Amino acid sequence: MFNFAEDFDAHVVDPYVRAHASGITPNPCVECNRHLKFDRLLERADALGFDAVATGHHARINADDRGILRVTRGADMQKDQSYVVHMLQGRALDRTLFPVGGLTKSDVRAIASSHGLRTASKPDSQDVCFIQSTAGREGFLAKRMEFNSADVVDTEGRPAGDVAAVELVTIGQRRGLNLGGGDKRYVVDVDVKTRRVVVGSENDLLTNEVVVKQLCWPHGSDEPLSTCDVLVQGSAHGARHAASITMESDDTVRLTWNKAQRRIAPGQTVVFYDLTDTYVVGGGIVTS
């Protein structure tokens, strides 16, 4: 057993709090994998002389048609976790094993049951691990930061209401805004500094482009740095949508959707897959 509590606080919990304070929607599960499982744990494996690290993610690692190792979707598409391990690259790809990646979740439960493991029927976790279900995200953050109220306006700047904590509002949100009846309205912009939330129709959420930074590619500079077509996934189990990615700098790409899509909140991770929706091409974090 290794105690990585300080690393967890520094790389997962503290950035999670800072992101909310800045009006950004973080993805702590991705950052945990990036900094803990496939950074610190691999370092510890090196120090102790181990050959590999194995985890229970529903993902696989296979060579593409050029023989380059890449993270590949798990056999159980309903439980596929290639999105949250997309950051694996270089030597880490050679030294990571996903032993359940070729199995369905029901297969895994059956094997666990046959060995008498008490986790065989354990419910799937859907929540952020460090947030208790009783207090929730609001209770967790309230102990670590100050909330500020904000005005809610429509896309024409007309008053529409207010929210008690602008730090808890995210792009695409519809519930919890206390806007009364009428047509459905969604958050289309959040500005923590001016304490202003803009709401609009579902059509107002649509955009043709997304700017992505903090990029990672399976083999670094070996990736194409011009323009290529990909399928893009914007959440752990979200739908994939076709787009072209154009490199604007070493650490910035612009996604241009083939068909306008709903905005993705800044701070969220997007992962690029090849057009067969099989293996990870790369990924990054949406910027404002």
Domain 5-121, what fold? Rossmann fold (3.40.50)
Residue with tokens 């890449």: 70
Cα separation values, 136 from 117, 132, 139, 142, 177, Å: 29, 6, 5, 10, 17
What global pTM score does this model have? 0.92
93 closest CA partner among 58, 61, 66, 67:
61
What are the backbone angles phi and psi of residue 243, rounded to the nearest 5°? -155, 165
pLDDT, tens digit, for every residue of 10-38?
999 999 999 999 999 999 999 999 999 99
Measure the CA–CA gap between 153 and 167, rounded to whole angstroms: 16
The whole-angstrom separation of Cα 124 and Cα 54 is 20
29 annotated active-site = no
CATH no., domain 146-201: 2.30.30.280
On whether the 205-286 domain is CATH 2.40.30.10, my answer is yes
Has 32 been annotated as catalytic?
Answer: yes
Task: pLDDT tens for the chain, 288 residues: list them.
Answer: 899 999 999 999 999 999 999 999 999 999 999 999 999 999 999 999 999 999 999 999 998 888 888 999 999 999 999 999 999 988 889 999 999 999 999 999 999 999 999 999 888 876 788 887 788 899 999 999 999 999 999 999 999 999 999 999 999 999 888 787 678 899 999 999 999 999 999 999 999 999 999 998 886 645 555 678 999 999 988 999 999 999 888 789 999 999 999 999 999 999 999 999 999 999 999 996
**Amino acid present at 205:** L
pLDDT at 88: 93
Per annotation, catalytic residue among 29, 32, 216, 228:
32
Domain ranges of the chain: 5-121, 146-201, 205-286
